Amino acid sequence: MNLQIGRLSQKMALLSRCYSSGVVKPKTGVLLLNMGGPQNIDQVRDYLHRIMTDRDMIQLPFQWMGPWIAKRRTPEVQKKYQEIGGGSPILKWTNLQGELMCKELDKISPDTAPHKHYVGFRYVNPLTENTLDQIEEDAPERVVIFSQYPQYSCATSGSSFNSIYHHYRHRDFPKHIKWSVIDRWATNPLLVKTFADNIRKELNQFPEDQRKDVIILFSAHSLPLRAVNRGDSYPSEVGATVALVMDELKMCNPYSLVWQSKVGPLPWLEPFTDDAIKGYVKQGKKNFVIVPIAFVNEHIETLHELDIEYCHELAEEVGAEKIRRAAAPNDHPLFINALSDIVSKHLKSNERITEKFTMRCPKCTNPRCDESKKWYKALFRQ
């Protein structure tokens, strides 16, 4: 794991040396949205505070509860970050993905070059609001706001898009820049091929006579049932990715879609990943490949929850023979092609927002969603 992070740092240093050798004004900016992760343990408390007080992400019954939970959980979460090397690698991965994507875009879409990526995190630096200021300073002709969650949820992508609306609510929106949105890409064929390739690599680590029986567990971050019942499209979009990946793999193995990372006492979407492993072991299954199907880079849920808690601790506890984990897409060449393919097609299409993006969940009662969707419709459909 540390070797992997070391290689990532080397690649980043090389790329930033190439980039800083000539300062070129970008014609097209690509703003990569994600939740982010603390880069060191000192950032954990602020990071948790922002998550727990984000009403789009989590709806607690009392306002005081968010800061209280954040404070209470800080030591436990800091310990987890210590155990994966002292911080989240998500910024390094996102920057590497952005640099590689823009290099590719400069080649395949010369009309919109030079391209520059920007990172907009929801809960930790670089915060989206600060990055928007940076974009305005650079003043590219176009900016594509590109959610890095392939499957759309109002708690993740929706929260990031709402925060952009919130940032501009009481200030002038830079209309001289042409803005557009890529909000979901769960069925992109190159994304599907990336997952399939990473799964094949893990299946090949099992002896040939056992390979066919290995259960592929697609694991995605769970969602409170309240959000699911509001009509959040995330579960169906995750299901769409899973179906296409299994199609690409020609249904080579038994598989199941399971959900991880539940927090708090309220009911969340099940079956949970650890319960699924326990259940299948009871049914006599011994070997698994876990696939983080809704994460595009490594972070705490892959490096700690999946690798340490499930692949090692839980495997030992329940007597599973082997639980392997497929890598997140990271800098897989097919994944970089997926990112550049999605953006270049989007730029060519001239589409600024999709009809789906302007819709609210059927049972949404969040006034922020209403205001935000109206704002995007008014400004992005011009």
Q: Which stretch binds ligand FES (CB under 6 A): 206-214, 216-224, 327-335, 362-370?
A: 362-370
Return the amino acid letter for 243.
A
Instruction: Decide: helix, strand or coil at residue 143.
Output: strand
Beta-sheet strands, E only, within the chain: 28-34, 115-121, 142-147, 178-182, 215-221, 255-260, 287-292, 322-325
Residue 48 interacts with ligand FES (CB under 6 A)? Answer: no
CA proximity to 29, closest of 130, 129, 134, 104 = 134
Site string for ligand FES, 146-185 (x = CB under 6 A): --------x---x---------------------------
Radius of gyration of the chain (CA): 21
Residue 361 interacts with ligand FES (CB under 6 A)? Answer: yes
Dihedral-angle region of residue 245 (phi above 0 means left; psi in -120 to 50 means alpha; beta otherwise): alpha
CB of 371 to ligand FES, least distance (A): 11
Q: Which is nearer to ligand FES, 60 or 361 (CB)?
A: 361
Q: Are 138 and 26 in contact (CB under 8 A)?
A: yes
Instruction: Decide: helix, strand or coil at residue 218.
Output: strand
Site string for ligand FES, 223-262 (x = CB under 6 A): -------x-x------------------------------
Residue length of the chain: 382
Site string for ligand FES, 261-300 (x = CB under 6 A): ----------------------------------------
Q: Which is nearer to ligand FES, 278 or 360 (CB)?
A: 360
Q: Which stretch binds ligand FES (CB under 6 A): 111-119, 241-249, 334-342, 357-365?
A: 357-365
Q: Which is nearer to ligand FES, 267 or 333 (CB)?
A: 267
CB of 366 to ligand FES, least distance (A): 4
Q: Which is nearer to ligand FES, 321 or 370 (CB)?
A: 370
Q: Are 93 and 25 in contact (CB under 8 A)?
A: no
Instruction: Give the Cα separation of 246 and 59 in Å (integer).
Output: 35
Q: CA 369 → CA 41, 145, 240, 277, distances in Å?
A: 32, 17, 25, 37
State whether the Cα torsion 332-241-92-182 is positive or negative. Answer: positive
Of positions 360, 371, 379, 380, contacts ligand FES by CB under 6 A: 360
Q: Are 223 and 232 in contact (CB under 8 A)?
A: yes
CB of 360 to ligand FES, least distance (A): 4
Instruction: Give the Cα separation of 377 and 353 in Å (integer).
Output: 8
- What tokens appear for 93 in the block? 């991965």
Q: Which is nearer to ligand FES, 223 or 242 (CB)?
A: 223
Of positions 58, 96, 214, 364, contacts ligand FES by CB under 6 A: 364
Output phi, psi for 131, to 5 deg. -65, -35
Instruction: Give the Cα separation of 302 and 74 in Å (integer).
Output: 19
Instruction: Give the Cα separation of 144 and 300 in Å (integer).
Output: 27
Q: Which is nearer to ligand FES, 77 or 369 (CB)?
A: 369
Q: Which residue is it, tokens 């954040």?
A: 70
Residue 366 interacts with ligand FES (CB under 6 A)? Answer: yes
Instruction: Decide: helix, strand or coil at residue 197.
Output: helix
Q: Which stretch binds ligand FES (CB under 6 A): 3-11, 99-107, 201-209, 363-371?
A: 363-371
CB of 356 to ligand FES, least distance (A): 11
CB of 365 to ligand FES, least distance (A): 8
Number of residues that bind ligand FES (CB under 6 A): 9
Q: Which stretch binds ligand FES (CB under 6 A): 68-76, 120-128, 314-322, 360-368?
A: 360-368
Q: Which stretch binds ligand FES (CB under 6 A): 33-41, 185-193, 203-211, 356-364?
A: 356-364
Q: Which positions lie near ligand FES, rule CB under 6 A? A: 154, 158, 230, 232, 360-361, 364, 366, 369
